């Protein structure tokens, strides 16, 4: 199956995507992760992208559609689109790409979380730079301070755009450019909305129910 995880910054898309990878063997395609990888490549494009991301603005459709096109052409059975599409143009492009490769879109999971909770989640987040595990100062600290529970790495990082200023821009971008996708996929009868404020496992259960139902 191919699914989209849709929701504002900090809604828990990455957290749930990792669970779905574990439980269903799907492949996570996070345009945010791909763009951050491009940044660390140190190319001119990577540097330009990094500036846009640090401000909290969206990167151009052309760049992200290109990244997704490349990944889909590598094939695979079952993708989780995490943080993509984010504009109507990206949604249309994804529709065409799936059609070209003979794939279908099975479900769009909208994760609903109110702004206040998003601020708390984003400002407390850190991730393992080695294995990608996502943590939170309050809701999911590491068992041993400064050491990843999963892989034992001490390379734990905070993102450049995880501050209140950039978050304001990211939220505005979401409401202006991404939230119209809720109606877009509702009209296509693909939309399932879940309560993203619940505990991580409860959210996962709700997503499973939506996918199995």
Residues recognised as catalytic: 13, 86, 125, 159, 170
> According to CB under 6 A, which residues from 89 to 108 bind ligand AP5?
90
Q: Name which of Zn ion, ligand AP5, none residue 203 binds, using a CB cut-off of 5 to 8 Å depending on partner kind.
A: ligand AP5
Bridging pattern class, strands 27-30 and 107-112 = unpaired
> According to CB under 5 A, which residues from 148 to 187 bind Zn ion?
148, 150-151, 153
- Count of residues of this chain found to bind ligand AP5 when the rule CB under 6 A is applied: 36
Q: What single DSSP character describes residue 144?
A: B
Nearer to Zn ion, 99 or 137 (CB): 137
Among 15, 20, 28, 133, binds ligand AP5 (CB under 6 A): 15
Contact at 8 Å (CB) between 89 and 96? no
Residue whose C-alpha is closest to residue 106's, from 193, 9, 7, 211: 211
Ranked by CB distance to ligand AP5, the top (closest) residue is 32
Residue 175, token pair as written in the block:
């409401």
Partners of 156 in beta bridges: 128
Give the count of beta carbons closer than 10 Å to the beta carbon of residue 1.
15
Contact at 8 Å (CB) between 117 and 11? no
> According to CB under 5 A, which residues from 110 to 149 bind Zn ion?
128, 130-131, 133, 148
Residue 56 makes contact with ligand AP5 by CB under 6 A? yes
Q: Name which of Zn ion, ligand AP5, none residue 56 binds, using a CB cut-off of 5 to 8 Å depending on partner kind.
A: ligand AP5
Separation CA 55–CA 167 (nearest Å) = 9
Three-state DSSP state, 51? helix
Is 134 annotated as belonging to a binding site? yes
Give the count of beta carbons closer than 10 Å to the beta carbon of residue 209.
11
Which spans of this chain sit near ligand AP5 (rule: CB under 6 A)?
7, 9-15, 31-32, 35, 52-53, 56-59, 64, 83-84, 86, 90, 121-122, 124-125, 134-136, 139-140, 161, 170, 199-200, 203
Which spans of this chain sit near Zn ion (rule: CB under 5 A)?
128, 130-131, 133, 148, 150-151, 153
């Amino acid at each position: 199956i191919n699914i989209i995880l849709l929701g504002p910054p900090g809604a828990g898309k990455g957290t749930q995507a990792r669970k779905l990878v574990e439980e269903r063997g799907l492949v996570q395609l996070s345009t945010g992760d791909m763009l951050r990888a491009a940044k660390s490549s140190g190319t001119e494009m990577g540097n330009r992208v990094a500036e846009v991301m640090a401000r909290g603005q969206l990167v151009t459709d052309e760049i992200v559609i290109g990244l997704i096109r490349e990944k889909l052409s590598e094939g695979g059975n079952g993708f989780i689109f995490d943080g993509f599409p984010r504009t109507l143009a990206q949604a249309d492009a994804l529709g065409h790409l799936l059609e070209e490769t003979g794939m279908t879109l099975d479900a769009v999971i909208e994760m609903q979380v109110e702004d206040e909770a998003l601020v708390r989640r984003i400002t407390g987040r850190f991730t393992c730079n080695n294995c990608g595990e996502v943590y939170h100062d309050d809701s999911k600290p590491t068992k041993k301070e400064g050491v990843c529970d999963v892989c034992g790495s001490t390379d734990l990082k905070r993102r450049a755009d995880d501050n209140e200023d950039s978050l304001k821009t990211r939220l505005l971008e979401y409401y202006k450019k991404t939230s119209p996708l809720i109606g877009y996929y509702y009209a296509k009868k693909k939309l399932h909305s879940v309560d993203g404020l619940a505990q991580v496992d409860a959210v996962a259960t709700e997503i499973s129910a939506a996918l199995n139902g």
